[in-house]
Amino acid sequence: MIKVPALPRLPKIPLPRIKKEPVPSPFSPDFLAGQKKILEGERDRLSDELARLKIFPQYGSSEDENAKEVEEYEKRLGLRKNVEDELRNTKFALERLEKGTYGLCAKDNKPIEAGRLKANPSSFYCAKHAAEEGKKRWWQILRRG
pTM listed for this prediction:
0.69
Q: Give the three-state DSSP class for 110.
A: coil
d(CA 32, CA 35): 5
| Range 29-144 classified under CATH 1.20.120.910 | yes
- For residue range 1-13, what is the model confidence (pLDDT) as tens digits? 455 555 555 556 6
The pLDDT value given to residue 120: 93
- For residue range 22-76, what is the model confidence (pLDDT) as tens digits? 566 688 999 999 999 999 999 999 999 988 877 766 666 666 666 776 777 777 7
Q: Give the three-state DSSP class for 111.
A: strand
d(CA 109, CA 47): 29
d(CA 122, CA 133): 15
